[in-house]
Amino acid sequence: MSHIVTIQTEVRDSEALGLACRRLELGEPVHETVPLFSGEATGYAVRLPDWRYPVVFDVEQGQVRFDNFEGRWGEPAQLNRLLQFYGVEKCRLEARRKGHSVHENQLSDGSIKLTIQIGADH
């Protein structure tokens, strides 16, 4: 039986965030307070390529704070890709914690298909 699931991502797991950053060859997220153009933010800071300011993830609140001046100070697609890989890594972690195996396929449209085999030991 197949089920299609659409996920709205809230970043609440620092381990999954770190795994997503490693997949994208970004630096490790660092918990710190960083300046943004309009103030500062505290949480796990991720520095995306060519972004003027880091993206800050408050995992307690599930919030993301960033200042990219409507794309002028950072390409939104890079953040979207990080959020996509966060979702994948979070699903993989949770499935494996329950003893399930996960198979991943990158689709031609850029989306990722995860197949979870219930009860597998992989």
pLDDT at 70: 86
Q: Under 8 Å CB-to-CB from 35, ≥6 apart: which residues?
A: 53
What residue type is 33 in one-letter code?
T
Integer angstrom CA distances of residue 19 from 32, 35, 85: 18, 24, 8
Number of other CB atoms surrounding residue 49 within 10 Å: 10
Sequential pLDDT tens for the chain (122 residues): 556 666 677 899 999 999 999 999 999 999 999 999 989 999 999 999 999 999 999 999 999 999 989 889 999 999 999 999 999 999 999 999 999 999 999 999 988 999 999 875 55
pLDDT at 71: 87
pTM (predicted TM-score) = 0.86
